[in-house]
Each structure stands twice: as structure tokens, then as C-alpha cells.
Amino acid sequence: MYQIDCPHCGPRAQSEFTFDRPVEAIVPPDAAAADALQALYTRTNPMGVDDEVWRHTYGCRAWLVLTRDRVSHAIHAVRALGPEALS
């Protein structure tokens, strides 16, 4: 288990948080595209650093964006989810 530094509550155990999805999955694929369902349900799981959406389920209930290494699980940044977090 590792620690996640919630911007609202401070450092907390990873067990208080719930993984939701990679950030790129927030924007739905073009509904007119022939492979829209495939793009929605068939995602890659690349190695390396990626932005992910997590929720502090057993704390402040805030939605967060974690920049996390999928191999080492090292967390590089944590920010609150909002218009400024996705830019």
C-alpha cells in the first residue's frame, strides 16, 4: 500500500481512494465513428507515467487527478479535478 497526498486532507493511505479511469477516458469517443464502442471498452494499459482519475472515497470524497507511474506506482503529482486540472 502507498500514500496519496490529498490536496484537501493531506497524506492518506491508498485504501481510502478508489481508482476511476485514465484521464483520456473522460472525453467520450466520437459517437459517429464506427469503432466508438471499441475505443470506449478496449483500452491499452501502457507502461509509464499517466494521468488517472481517483476519488477520495473514504475521506473528503473529492475527485482527484493523479500523475502516476504504472510500473513503479510512484505518484508524481496530485491535483483536484476541475477545469484547471485537465489543462
- One digit per residue, the tens of pLDDT, for the chain of length 87 reads 789 999 999 999 999 999 988 877 666 555 555 566 666 666 666 788 988 899 999 999 999 999 999 899 999 999 998 765 554
pLDDT of amino acid 76: 95
pLDDT of amino acid 28: 57
Burial pattern 30-42, b for ≥16 Cβ within 10 A else e, equals eeeeeeeeeeeee
Task: Supply the pTM of this predicted model.
Answer: 0.73
pLDDT of amino acid 23: 78
Domains of the chain: 1-25+48-87 (3.30.2270.10)
DSSP H or E segment with residue 4 = strand 3-6
